[in-house]
Chains A and B, each alone.
Chain A
Amino acid sequence: EVQLVESGGGLVQPGRSLRLSCVGSGFKFEEHVMHWVRQVPGKGLEWVAHITWNSGIVDYADSVKGRFTISRDNAKNSLYLQMNSLRREDTALYYCAKDRDYYDNSATFDYWGQGTLVTVSS
């Protein structure tokens, strides 16, 4: 059974940093592009970042570019999101999501974690 489990969310002041983690199991983690997607509670979904299977390519939404860094450790089946210079508008539930395709970035998310809530507030 495929599982994705996020952690690391919490309450943080504007301008501070937070690091999210996601551990995958039940599939060959190293064979898939991985993504972060966020959702303001009660609102729509926003793709945040993706990283290719070998970390060769990363990409970000303009809203987080220069502040967030996505990374992965295939030996640990883990995905990370380092979030710096946090803003109130970054408050959201952050999901990690597995790409449906093997090695390719289809941005079709066939499995999602349960999400970890990030609240940016003073």
Chain B
Amino acid sequence: DIQMTQSPSSLSASVGDRVTITCRASQNIRSYLNWYQQKPGKAPKLLIYVATSLQRGVPGRFSGRGSGTDFTLTISSLQPEDFATYHCQQTYRTPRTFGQGTKVEI
């Protein structure tokens, strides 16, 4: 199975900060990488697919970069509603595996 490793596991930030989360795959997954946001008690929400494409309705402050094994999710100016856990997921090979999550806290 392809292992997905996110860093950091958690981070503290303030409203207005620029925040970057990293996801590393254990092998080349080309651009088959998605990002999800999950708030407490809620289902995950798709933010970014195929590494850089913004899902419809997602604010433009979210962006994704990378290919191969190294990927990033950036929030350009953190808003109060962005405090959540973020998960990366590879869709290159079955089983489609997720990272362990990164919790963004105040």
How many CB-defined contacts (below 8 Å) exist between A and B? Answer: 48
Whether B44 and A47, one on each chain, are in contact in the complex, defined by CB atoms closer than 8 angstroms, is: no
Where chain B touches its partner, the secondary structure class is: loop
Whether B49 and A44, one on each chain, are in contact in the complex, defined by CB atoms closer than 8 angstroms, is: no
Task: In the complex, identify which listed stretch (B13-21, B74-82, B95-103) lies at the interface while the others stay far away.
Answer: B95-103
Q: Which residues of B contact A12 (CB under 8 A)?
A: none
Tell me how far the C-beta of B5 lies from the nearest C-beta in chain A, rounded to whole angstroms: 11
A76 to B101 Cα, complex, angstroms: 35
Q: Does B43 contact A (CB under 8 A)?
A: yes
Q: Does A113 contact B (CB under 8 A)?
A: yes
Tell me how far the C-beta of A38 lies from the nearest C-beta in chain B, rounded to whole angstroms: 11
B interface residues, how many (CB within 8 angstroms): 21
Q: Which residues of A contact B91 (CB under 8 A)?
A: 106-108
Q: Which residues of A contact B46 (CB under 8 A)?
A: 100, 108-110
A39 to B43 Cα, complex, angstroms: 10
Complex interface residues of chain A between 31 and 64 (CB less than 8 A to chain B) = 43-47, 59, 61-62
B34, B43, B87: which contacts A44 (Cβ < 8 A)? Answer: B87
When C-beta atoms are compared, the residue in chain B nearest to A110 turns out to be: B46
Tell me how far the C-beta of B60 lies from the nearest C-beta in chain A, rounded to whole angstroms: 18
Tell me how far the C-beta of A16 lies from the nearest C-beta in chain B, rounded to whole angstroms: 25
A59 to B95 Cα, complex, angstroms: 9
Interface size range on A against B? 10 to 19
Whether B44 and A45, one on each chain, are in contact in the complex, defined by CB atoms closer than 8 angstroms, is: yes
A112 to B96 Cα, complex, angstroms: 16
Q: Which residues of A contact B97 (CB under 8 A)?
A: 47
Whether A44 and B100, one on each chain, are in contact in the complex, defined by CB atoms closer than 8 angstroms, is: yes
Tell me how far the C-beta of A99 lies from the nearest C-beta in chain B, rounded to whole angstroms: 10
Q: Does B55 contact A (CB under 8 A)?
A: yes
A59, A100, A108: which contacts B94 (Cβ < 8 A)? Answer: A59
Q: Which residues of A contact B34 (CB under 8 A)?
A: 108-109
